Amino acid sequence: MSEFIQRIEKIFNTTIKNKSIFIEAFTHKSYNSKLNNENLEFLGDRVLGLVISKKLYDLYPDVDEGSLDKRFANLVNRKTCAYIFWSLNINEYIFLGDSYKKLKKNDEKILSDMCESLLGALYIEKGYYFVEKKINQLWKNEIKKSSITVIDPKSQLQEYSLKKYNILPLYKSISQTGPKHKPTFKMSVKIRNSKKFVGSGTSKKIAEQNAAKKLLSHIKTEKL
């Protein structure tokens, strides 16, 4: 266990006094149903959310709330948290029950939870400003990527319609053709004062995106 604590100290360039809190942070409920990392995970999730929210607020003062929210969601989701934790190369120290075999990179739920509980333990041990600094370091590359986050056409259209008319775009199913294993869907969309635009795709979601894209193009053309 001393090797585990030394590894944490080396990664975060600090000295740990409350070793038990980090043992708790790395204890999955499958190993101990009563004393595990769930409460630390709850805390770490909130700390991460606050730090990332503040960082995005500082970086993008002129960006609207909807765009900030999408960047935020990409930075704190399960996939990103799991990736960050895996990159620390400390998954071998996790206490898991016998029902789990060797942890893999694609075990995103466990890895993400461990990431959040680790942040919760760091917050308790070292305080907010320490963990804020470490989160910004660990998420540095992901935060850089957030500057080129592309908002999909359906989300763009929704933001436009809500801002201009205070109502959501109206989507309707037109048809489903082709074999069951390879269907083609057609969906229409309209907003207030617009005609219907139709999009097609291999799923309703893709068809809606394509319909929204056509309507957005029409809106942009009208503004020229």
pLDDT in tens, 117-127: 999 999 999 99
pTM here is: 0.68
Q: Is 62 a catalytic residue?
A: no
Q: Put the strands of the sheet holding 184-190 in their side by side order.
A: 170-177, 184-190, 197-201
Annotated active-site residue 45? The verdict is yes
Same domain assignment for residues 136 and 200:
no
Catalytic residue among 107, 108, 113, 116, which?
A: 116
Which residues, including other chains, have CB under 8 Å from residue 171's CB and lie 6 or more apart?
187, 188, 189, 208, 211
Q: If 0-12 CB within 10 Å is exposed, 13-18 middle and 19+ buried, where does residue 86 land?
A: buried
> Domain check: are 123 and 163 in the same one?
no
**Per-residue pLDDT tens over the stretch 40-86:** 999 999 999 999 999 999 998 877 777 788 889 899 999 999 999 99
Q: How many domains does the chain have?
A: 2
Reduced to 3 states, what is the DSSP secondary structure of residue 8?
Answer: helix
Residue where one domain finishes, among candidates 148, 173, 188:
148
Q: Of residues 45, 108, 125, 132, which has the active-site annotation?
A: 45
Domain boundary among 132, 148, 164: 148
